[in-house]
Amino acid sequence: EDQVTQSPEALRLQEGESSSLNCSYTVSGLRGLFWYRQDPGKGPEFLFTLYSAGEEKEKERLKATLTKKESFLHITAPKPEDSATYLCAVRGGYNKLIFGAGTRLAVHP
Amino acid sequence: DVKVTQSSRYLVKRTGEKVFLECVQDMDHENMFWYRQDPGLGLRLIYFSYDVKMKEKGDIPEGYSVSREKKERFSLILESASTNQTSMYLCASSFKGDQPQHFGDGTRLSIL
């Protein structure tokens, strides 16, 4: 069964304190791993797509990496405006996305 | 920028009512999706559509139906609303193939 597990559930950081979020997955035939950011009361906002092990993508303070079993979202020197829930999803069979439950990130000044 | 618009941000209905949630996208996307999002359960797929007048069941289709009469519009219908359908409903769209899905801002639906 296709499955996505994100850890930790919640993370509190001080401004400037770098860290990583984890997304572990099991899927038969990975056809893309997606990272989204979701602010309270809003829909998920697309960040990155990764397709193969070893691939990396960067956007401002965020960097996503992919291995055969997991993906990491590295946050370098975060700011309070990076506070959000970060969602990971994998595309499995029938073109469906399977989402993890998300990591709630709070960055304090 | 992709724009996915959901007709209502907040909606309050009574049990037994027939409820319509509307979603429109302006990017000529072939694929459209309806999810619900509940605390601790993440996003769960209700229905999706690959083309006009075409629909496929997702993981939790019971109690719901959908309609796609035009390419840009995808409607979710709660046939007879129940309190366990109180949730955040999210619509998404994408090009066909392995392209990312883009989401609307959701409708928070309360069934009393």
Q: Which amino acid, one-letter code, is at A100?
A: G
Distance CA A99, CA A91 (A): 9
A77 lies within 8 A of chain B by CB: no
Distance CA A11, CA A69 (A): 22
Distance CA B101, CA A44 (A): 9
**pLDDT single digits (tens) A60-103:** 999 999 999 999 999 999 999 999 999 999 987 666 889 999 99
Q: Which amino acid, one-letter code, is at B73?
A: R
Q: Which helix (H) or strand (E) holds B11?
A: strand B10-13
Q: Give the nearest partner residue to A49 out of B56, B59, B100, using CB atoms.
A: B100
Model pLDDT, residue A35:
98
Model pLDDT, residue A94:
64
> How many CB pairs (< 8 A) connect A and B?
50
Would you give per-residue pLDDT tens digits along chain B (112 residues)? 769 999 899 999 999 999 999 999 999 999 999 999 998 888 999 999 999 989 999 999 999 999 999 999 999 999 999 999 999 999 999 998 778 899 999 999 999 9
Chain B partners within 8 Å of A52 (Cβ) = none
Model pLDDT, residue B97:
78
Contact A99 B43 (CB under 8 A): yes
Name the one residue in this structure whose structure tokens are 């946050």.
A75
**pLDDT single digits (tens) A20-58:** 999 999 988 888 999 999 999 899 999 999 999 999 999
Mutating which of B37, B43, B49, B51 best tests the A interface, going by the most A Cβ atoms within 10 A?
A: B43
